[in-house]
Amino acid sequence: MQKQHLNELLEHGIITPEVATAITNYYQNKQTTASKLPIIFGIFGALLGGLGIILLIGHNWDEFTTTTQSILAFLPLLLGQIASGYTILKKPESIAWRESSGAFLFCGVGASIALISQIYHIPGNFNRFVLTWMLLSLPLIYLLKSSVVSLLFLIGITVYNMTIGYIDYPNVQNYKYWLLLLAVAPHYYQLIKQQPNGNFTTIHHWFIALTLLINLESLDKNNNELIFITYGFLIALFYLLGKTAYFRHHHTIANSYLTIGKLGGLTLLYMASFRFIWKPLLLKNLVPEPLLLTVTLTLFVGCALLLYQLNKRKAATPFTLFHFNFIALAVFFITAQVSITATVILSNLYILSLGLQEIQKGNKTHSITRLNFGILLIAILTGCRFFDENMTFIVRGVMFIIVGFGFFALNYFLLKKRKQHEN
């Protein structure tokens, strides 16, 4: 419906301003949904078309001469360049053309490198192949403004760093990965600025968070147990980042940092409630590693600065104990140097407090979901203590009975309270 038609209906009092706004939003959402289809079909069409060409060539590969093989090896690359050139010159504003041609050329680059290496028996390994592929594909992100190429690039450099840092022996600290990750930062920033609620932006949030989680341990070349604290600070930083103004109104699925920060933080806290975690973390057992120590301290400072910023708008985002996870981990680490038993007791009390806080908030807001989440936290803590060798079976059994009774009792009283409130 055209805008002048809506204005005419408003002038004659046929519809209210609220109805006009609802109609406008409806057609905008409809148009946005419809415009996504060409992009999706274009991307999948480019990827499937590229794979189809590779399969057709590979089927009769041995029957071709070396010259023919060389020509066919460059065919995917040539087609991708033609499509990308046409996009830049004729279709620079078309998202479907940019994303599909970028995805096709990205695959074409990798296919051509692999085929030429195989034809002429060029020496090299998988790591060099992936690194060369990624370096040649990096300009496509900015020439075509392609988010699909950016996501494929993130997958590629993650695989590259995992191979060097985790699979190959000896494992080495791969600084090239961090430089390549930094190269994606300008495109990621533009997505956040220009398309804060876009699908590509949401997927980038997840990919960035996951690649950091996967590759953080590659900084530890001496199997240093301090990485446990480093991960704790990174995950705490994710949680605080997910609580900032930018992410505050994002849906849980779209807020990757908050989701990973909360689930990951709880996982680490439950691990911290066991004695065996802290024995290797005593200072006398740690191997000095300046880079890892620097990263750990930097993440702690980052968490402190974010917490300070969030404190300025405390009314908009009420604090919970989750906001202080990084401080709790730091306190646990310091306490462990004096007494591991005290650290275990503190960590258990902290998790118990988290559960009780969620129960209290669930009761206050009449939210059964939040209430049960708090009970679940305590139940998992009780389950962890089931594997604690220092507790007798009688104590473990009593703990399970108490948690089970509390689960039913709290749900019963909350449901009863909700009914009374509704009446």
Task: Count CB-CB contacts under 10 A for residue 128.
Answer: 14
Q: Tell me which residue of 266, 264, 246, 265 sits closest to 255, measured CA to CA.
A: 246
Report how far residue 385's alpha carbon sits from residue 399's, in angstroms, rounded to the nearest whole number: 9
Residue 170 has a pLDDT of 59
Enter the pTM of the model. Answer: 0.80
pLDDT above 50 (res 33): no
Q: What angle do CA 152, 156, 161 make, to 5 degrees?
A: 150
CA 121 centroid distance within chain: 39
Report how far residue 163's alpha carbon sits from residue 225's, in angstroms, rounded to the nearest whole number: 21
Per domain, the residue ranges of the chain are 225-338, 362-423
Report how far residue 414's alpha carbon sits from residue 360's, in angstroms, rounded to the nearest whole number: 11
The model's pLDDT over 172-188, given as tens digits with 9 standing for 90+, comes to 677 899 999 999 999 99
Report how far residue 317's alpha carbon sits from residue 365's, in angstroms, rounded to the nearest whole number: 16
Mean local confidence (pLDDT), 97-123: 87
Q: Between residues 413 and 364, which one has the greater pLDDT?
A: 364
**Per-residue confidence band for 150, with pLDDT thresholds at 50, 70 and 90:** very high
The model's pLDDT over 222-260, given as tens digits with 9 standing for 90+, comes to 767 889 999 999 999 999 999 998 887 778 788 999 999
The model's pLDDT over 367-416, given as tens digits with 9 standing for 90+, comes to 777 878 888 888 888 778 776 655 555 555 665 566 566 555 655 565 56
Are 171 and 164 in contact by the 8 Å Cβ rule? The answer is: yes
**Per-residue confidence band for 133, with pLDDT thresholds at 50, 70 and 90:** very high
The model's pLDDT over 304-336, given as tens digits with 9 standing for 90+, comes to 999 998 888 765 567 889 999 999 999 999 999
Which letter does DSSP use for residue 120 in this model? T
Q: What is the mean pLDDT of the chain?
A: 81
Determine whether 136 is exposed, middle or buried from the number of CB atoms within 10 Å of its CB (0-12, 13-18, 19+).
middle
pLDDT above 60 (res 339): yes
149: CB partners within 8 A, 6+ apart: 99, 102, 103, 106, 137, 140, 141
Are 111 and 54 in contact by the 8 Å Cβ rule? The answer is: yes
**Per-residue confidence band for 1, with pLDDT thresholds at 50, 70 and 90:** very low
CA 167 centroid distance within chain: 22
